Structures are given as structure tokens and as C-alpha cells.
Structure 1
Amino acid sequence: MTGDVNVVGLYVRDQDEALDFYVGKLGFQLHTDVRNGDYRWLTVQASGQAAFQLGLFRPGPPVHDADTARTLQQMVAKGAMPPLVLAVDDCRAACEELKARGVEFTQEPMERYGAVDAGFRDPSGNGWKMIEARGR
């Protein structure tokens, strides 16, 4: 079977806080926000990526028990989850724009491996690498 990846989930501690960060600061667009009891399916999309969504999910029921949810939240807060990668045309300019919106960087733009990259975290602790795409 071959298919397209449609949604990649990201654990967040607070979905409203995450939505504000991803839409208000990074410029993503809200795709889906629906509730089923205490469960909330919340996804956003980067501009121009109609088929791909980033899910902003809280660890917990109905998917996780309380102990697993706490462990996952602690791992995210410590930066233990793999970083996500955001491709941009100009890393230095994007860094300045995001700083003006209140994004705090953990690594300033630097050139290495033939590209410029920088690092930041979302409010839950998820790490991001912002990389200047070659030939974009």
C-alpha cells in the first residue's frame, strides 16, 4: 500500500496556547478544530501545503492513560522529542520576522552543511529547526 502522509501529530501541553503560537506567531492556518467530549482534534497547516496538516494534540484519554500522558508531557517539555523542520527561503530574514512576533530562538542562524539554519521551541518545548532550503 502506498499513500500520502496527511497529518503528523505533535504533543502540546495546552491546545489554545499551541494554536496561538502556530497561527499567531508562525503564520500557520487553522485547518480543523472539533471536539468529541473532552477530546479535541486540532490541526493547522503551513501556508501553501493544502494536503499536509500538523496535529496539535494533548496526551491523554482516550489515547493514553494518565501515567503515559504525564510521561509524554515531561518528555516534550525537556525537548526529548525529535525536532521538526521548517524550510524557508531566507533563514536570517525569517528569524528576524519570527523574533518580531515573539518567537524565542535557541540557536541563532548559522551557516553549516552548505545551508543556513536556526532553532526555536514552541511553548510546549517541541524543538524546531528552520533551514534555508537550497535552490528554493
Structure 2
Amino acid sequence: MSNIALRYLPVTVDDVDVALAFYRNALGLEPRGDVASDGFRWVTLGFAGQPGLEIVLSEPGAGRSPDDGEALHRLLAKGSLPGPLVFSTDDLDATFERVRASGAEVLQEPMDQPWGPRDCAFRDPAGNLIRIDQAT
């Protein structure tokens, strides 16, 4: 069987610049690409240790019909997009403090979960659910 790997993970945001600052400064992702077309932008970011995986930030209308873009915008505004994005760190407490200092909305402080991991939860500036767990 051939190998297969996840390459891009789309994340819909209402303001690409604000989201870029959050994912870069609070979570430590590196910007890798910035493409503009038809009045929209797609910004890719990734981690140094995962060169083959990138998050793609874009607005609801990017590459979609006006109706689909508006429907996605309504879901984003309600915080109803599928998720969460789950990240892992080797120092949950330090990562939690860095993300909290960025102004992100804290949903859950670090705690041990009954199913195993120690984790915390935030919303990114667009309202997407972010969970961060302690790497084992």
C-alpha cells in the first residue's frame, strides 16, 4: 500500500491578518505562503518539525460561491464550525500562559481529563475552538 499523509488543514477565519498574528505569535507557527486572488488571501503556516503539514487560513468567501461564503460566515460568527483543532506541546503550562497573554478567549485552564490527556482550550480570534494537550 502507498503512503498517504495529511498536507493542508483549512481554517476559516474572519480576518486573515488577525488570525495570522495569533497562529504565529501565540502558537508559534511559521508563515510559509501568502497568496492573493480575486480579493481574498490564503496564508499557510506550519511548524518547523512538521514540514509536510500546513494550516491554511482564509476568509469564508475565499474560493466559494457568494451563498456558500455567507453561510460559512454565519457558522463562523456563531462558533459553529467543525473542530476543534488539537495541538500538542511538551510544556502545557507555559504554552497556556503564552496563548492566554495573546488575549485569546480561555475556555478551559489546564486540567487532567478523565480520558487521559492533560489539556486546555481556547478560541482563536475568529471563534474556532483550539485545544492544546501535553505531549506524552
Q: TM-score range by the shorter chain?
A: 0.7 to 0.9
The within-5 A match list for 1:82-101 is 82-101=83-102
Which residue of structure 1 aligns with residue 7 of structure 2? 6
Following superposition, the deviation at residue 65 of structure 1 comes to: 1.9
Give SS of 2:51's match.
coil
Query: Who is 2:79 aligned against?
Result: 79
SS in 2 for 1:27: coil
Partner of 1:107: 108
* 1:20 and 2:21 aligned: yes
Name the TM-score, length of structure 2 as normaliser. 0.87
Q: 1:126 aligns with which of 118, 122, 128?
A: 128
Check whether the contact 1:25–1:102 (CA below 8 A) recurs between aligned residues: no
Quick one: distance in 2 between partners of 1:43 and 1:5?
14
How many percent of aligned residue pairs carry the same amino acid?
Answer: 35
Partner of 2:57: 56
Letter in 1 for 2:65: D
TM-score (norm 1): 0.87
Secondary structure of the structure 1 residue equivalent to 2:6 = coil
The CA deviation at 1:20 is: 1.2
Q: Output the amino acid matched with 2:121.
A: G
Partner of 1:118: helix, strand, or coil?
A: strand
Q: Distance between the aligned counterparts of 1:53 and 1:82, measured in 2?
A: 16
Listed as ranges, the gaps of 5+ residues in structure 2 are: none
| 8 Å Cα contact 1:27-1:47 kept in structure 2 | no
Count the aligned residue pairs: 133
